[in-house]
Structure 1
Amino acid sequence: MTIAPNIPEILPATDTSATSETDQEFNWRNCWYPVTFIQDLPKNRPYSFSLYDEPLVLFRNNDGKLICLTDVCPHRAAKLSDGQIIDGKIECLYHGWQFGNGGECLHIPQLPADAKIPAKACVKSFLVTEKQGMVWMWAGEADIADENSIPTLPDLEKPGFVGSEKVSELPFDQGFFIEQVLDPAHIHISHHGSQGNRKNAQPLEMEILESSITGIKSRFRGTRNPNDFWRYLTFFAPNLVLLNFSIGEKGWVFGLALYSMPVGKNRCRVLTRSYRNFFGWKTKITPRWMIHLGQSKILEEDLPQVLGQQEYIERTKKSLKELYLPLKSSDTILLEYRKWLDRFGSSLPYYQGYATFKTGEKCGKIEKEDVSMARYYHHTQFCSSCSRAHKTAIRGKQTFVGVAIALAALAIITEDFTIKLLMVSVSLLSVGLAVVAEKLKIRFERSYSRH
């Protein structure tokens, strides 16, 4: 079997028009940011999110077009996302002020009919678009935005490819997530039994193919097998890491796109999109929420390590150059990313490079979340499929418990033995189904734990 390398085709996410790299400055606002998958966007109500702790809100107008505004009412600083959509306008729940497509205030109930709406009664608007099943927002000035610079995946448009999508929100900075996914060496240890096998942990051959303001192209392979094939890891600044490889003889292609967005200090949103052109039947027949249960477990296997890592680094206030002991055979790619931040990260609100870092204004301690409900807060509430399945499990448990109690009561007062036996049997079956529904409900709420 011969393996053909497949460096992914993808559009750059940043402007590279400057004449030399030293003359370029990475501007984090002049970039497209992934908000959510369209199928996870709720209908007929506002959708709140944030970028670098800036609160934002999405809603659709009467034409079905997405609108993005700052999530703060200029009247008394209430959250617009707590309000409702009326005739394609977003209405603040506090006093009923309504805002249109460009953030202009269109109605104030408390204002006299002949009075003019104050000029300052408006909120900032942002350009937002839909592409390849995802919602994207442009954080800079709308007149310089180019939708062609959105990092799309050409393979998704080709026949025969099947993919799955998942959105999560993690309690650590975007930089630590990107470092984690640029680290293939941890897979066989941290994900032993799920994605890897610790017996396969080995030195890796790693190469940086290209590094510039637009990102990093790299590849890696194992060293035990001299015929091992190359896997390609590409970082497209500022928010996409793509793992990609192909099997030449069969024409099989696999890709894992990991989009991330800095929601705020110690928080990042991750949009995962895996795709392939082989064994697609399995993805097609498996419910999306069932796929997510397995994917959540893999994501949560790294959670304690990354949280502990970030907490220690922030507490010491030292650079990674002082704290890390990197190996060429495992850490080459992730170190290149940290050095990329040293070179281009100065404009970011906060970042952790290899030799430099910026803590930002909001650098409070990492909050310890309620472990018993962690998966619910990290994923289920953001996912339309898992949210529906979670609610169904809750209703199912309540229904089965009610049926079990009712049948047990009827069995007590029924004199016919055959009917009594049947009622008791169905009652016990309902108890069993209630237990199954409870276990399923818990899986949508609680994170995986090794202990």
Structure 2
Amino acid sequence: MTLTPNKPDTGQPTATLPIPETDQEFNWRNCWYPVTLLQDLPKDRPYGFSLYDEPLVLFRNSQGKLVCLTDRCPHRAAKLSDGQIIDGKIECLYHGWQFGAEGQCLHIPQLATDIKIPVNSCVKSFAVVEKQGIVWIWPGEAEAADQQPIPAIPDLDKPEFVSTDLVRDLPYDQTYFIENVLDPAHVNISHHPTQGNRDNAQPLEMEVLEHSGDGIRGRWRGTRKPNANWVTVDFVAPNFVIHKFKFGSEQKSMSGGLALYSIPLGKGRCRILARNYRNFFTWKIKLTPRWMDHWYRNQILEEDLPLIVGQEEQIEQLGESLKKVYLPLKTCDFFVIEYRKWLDKFGSALPFYQGYSTSKQPREATENNPPPATLNRLQQHTVICSSCNRAYQITNRLKQTFVAVAIALAALAILTDSSLIQLVAVSGSLFALGIAAVAKKIKTKFEHSYTRR
């Protein structure tokens, strides 16, 4: 696809990723979906997730290769993700059926040795790959899986660039997440003062450079400063958005971006993988512990979270098309409307979606699989992030240990007759309580979401 900007060349990048041209209906199965960050994937146990409410499970075989299967035992429909890994095979913990990398059933303990394993005892397998630290699955036929369309970021392969990554489950549809991250106008209001500034809210100049069945490419900039730098934005269907910026001279340019991957876990649920990267002030990213950086990244997401949940609820209650509900501004909502119109044009094959003029809802409500609580950082992030989960467990143990030490020292102060020992014991007990209080405060940062005061 050749870009044909409507404005004269500004010297800023107008493309980040190739988007092939096609006028065909979008086939949601014949594409790659990001599941999790490789560093957050457990090494010794199954990893369950879902795609459009279809249960799937990841595990590593005896050669260390990732395997993806349907997360449902064909025997009695128990979840394989609740099982265990034995010699590179996944075992259902209900009756011990074991399955290999191709989904074939390899062992049934209750089956006589002279009886062949039934041919219909297998489970479906899916193609899975690792690329730039992200695990991707292909829900279509494995033979058709082509790794070339996976949206890679060339800058991440350059040594001068560093990045920080975050995984988070969100209690709203993937389309609302993509709408949100295609909306730069909200940042100065919704994220004041963490990431934006209310005084900088202004009309934006927005352009769509390309629009096809495989995505949208555009650019935007503020209007207050003449000849402001453009920020390029790409939506690569169905699950990737990237904002890319560059400023400074050619000899000493500073550049970076915000890459946002997402997967529709089900109706009203999605998972996002956020990646910030840049080639300047890299020391800050290198020196900040990942779990501490996630406090800030999670707060940014949580500043929007109740607003988007409420927005989705209102739209569902109204039962009207977004064309009737929204009052869009060209200097604010241009990319949002373009994305919703993309869903109108190409999204009819998706299991469910909310376009601008059209929509499609799942056949059955997912009452047995409700979305997580709106404000629940523990379940939506901490337990699925290896760094934060480890820090959370350590902090919890520290709190428990110092509480026990404080109690023991207090008891010693009561039981002893020595004034010196009493003084030392009381002082030590108070110090231990102080450490326990600090640990408790840190622990809550892994459990509770940010709320506006």
Is TM more than 0.5 here?
Answer: yes
1:193 match: 193
- Secondary structure of the 1:147 match is coil
Q: Which residue of 2 aligns with 1:300?
A: 302
- Residue 402 of structure 1 corresponds to 404
Determine whether 1:9 maps to 2:11: no
Contact conserved, 2:309 with 2:374, CA < 8 A, in 1? no
What is the one-letter code of the residue matched to 2:155?
A: D
Q: Which residue of 1 aligns with 2:354?
A: 352
State whether residues 221 and 228 of structure 2, in contact with CA within 8 Å, keep that contact through their aligned partners in structure 1.
yes
Matches within 5 A, 1:127-142: 127-142=127-142
1:433 to 407, 432, 435: 435
How far off is 1:10 after superposition? 2.7
Q: Is the 8 A contact 1:11 1:148 kept in 2?
A: no
Alignment match, 1:251: 253
CA distance in 1, matches of 2:352, 2:429: 58
* Matched residue, 2:315: 313
SS at match of 2:217: strand
Residues 90 and 100, structure 1, Cα contact 8 Å, conserved in 2: yes
| 2:325 counterpart letter in structure 1 | L
Contact 1:209 1:218 in 2 (8 A): yes
Structure 2 contact 17–234 (Cα < 8 Å) conserved: no
Secondary structure in structure 1 of the residue aligned to 2:119: coil
Which position in structure 2 is the counterpart of 1:442?
Answer: 444
Partner residue of 2:379?
Answer: 377
Q: Secondary structure at the match of 1:101?
A: coil
List alignment gaps of at least 5 residues for structure 2: 1-9
Q: TM-score, normalised by structure 2?
A: 0.95
The letter for the 2-side match of 1:232 is T
* 1:411, distance to aligned residue in structure 2 (A): 2.0
| AA aligned opposite 1:169 | D
Cα distance, 1:4 vs structure 2 = 4.4
AA of the residue aligned to 2:51: L
The alpha carbon displacement at 1:349 in A equals 0.4
Alignment partners' CA distance in 1, 2:258 and 2:391: 25
SS in 2 for 1:327: coil
Measured after TM superposition, the shift of residue 44 of structure 1 is 0.8
Counterpart-to-counterpart distance in 1, 2:366 and 2:97? 34
Q: Which residue does 2:95 correspond to in 1? A: 95
Secondary structure at 1:63 match in 2: coil
1:106 aligns with 2:116: no
TM-superposed CA distance for 1:412, in Å, is 2.4
* Distance in structure 2 (CA, Å) of the matches to 1:210 and 1:152: 19
Asked if residue 274 in structure 1 is aligned to residue 281 in structure 2, the reply is: no
Return 5+ residue gaps in structure 1 as ranges.
none
Tell whether 2:324 aligns with 1:322. yes
Q: In the TM superposition, what are the counterparts of 1:40-79 in structure 2 within 5 Å?
A: 40-79=40-79
- Structure 2 CA distance, aligned partners of 1:40 and 1:295? 16
* Matched residue type, 1:74: P
**Shift of residue 362, structure 1, vs aligned partner:** 3.7
Contact between 1:265 and 1:362, CA under 8 Å: does it hold in 2?
A: no
Q: What SS does structure 1 have at the residue aligned with 2:235? A: strand
**Partner SS state of residue 329, structure 2:** coil
Q: Secondary structure at the match of 2:156?
A: helix
Say if 1:371 and 1:446, in contact at 8 Å, map to a contact too: no
Q: Contact conserved, 1:10 with 1:154, CA < 8 A, in 2?
A: no
Aligned to 1:128, the other structure's residue is in SS state: strand
Name the aligned partner's letter for residue 291 of structure 2.
W
Paired residues of 2:191 and 2:300 also in contact (CA < 8 A): yes
1:26 aligns with: 26
Task: Indicate the SS of the match to 2:306.
Answer: helix
Shift of the alpha carbon at 1:248? 3.2
Q: Which amino acid aligns with 1:193?
A: P
Q: What residue identity is the alignment partner of 1:341? A: L
**Contact 2:73 2:92 (C-alpha < 8 Å) held by counterparts:** yes
Aligned residue number for residue 177 of structure 1: 177
Q: Deviations over 1:147-167 (max 9, x none)?
A: 111110000001210101110
Q: Write the deviation string for residues 123-146 of structure 1: whole angstroms up to 9, x where unpaired.
A: 000000111111010111111111
* Amino acid in structure 2 at the alignment position of 1:435: A
Cα-Cα RMSD:
1.5
Q: CA deviation at 1:240?
A: 0.4
Q: How does 1:226-241 map to 2 (within 5 A)?
A: 226-241=226-241
* Equivalent pairs, count: 441
Q: Given the two structures, how large is their TM-score scaled by the length of structure 1?
A: 0.95
1:206 — aligned with what?
206
Q: Which amino acid aligns with 2:107?
A: H
SS at match of 1:326: coil
Tell me, in whole angstroms, the C-alpha distance in 2 between the residues paired with 1:422 and 1:4.
68
Q: Which residue of 2 aligns with 1:223?
A: 223
3-state SS of paired residue (2:441): helix
Per-residue deviation at 1:360?
1.8
The answer (yes or no) to whether the contact 1:89–1:100 under 8 Å persists in 2 is yes
2:5 alignment counterpart: none
What is the letter of the counterpart of residue 89 of structure 2?
A: K
User: Following TM superposition, by how much is the alpha carbon of 1:369 offset from its aligned partner in structure 2, in angstroms?
Assistant: 4.8
* Alignment partners' CA distance in 2, 1:204 and 1:429: 54
Letter aligned with residue 290 of structure 1? M
The answer (yes or no) to whether the contact 2:26–2:346 under 8 Å persists in 1 is: yes
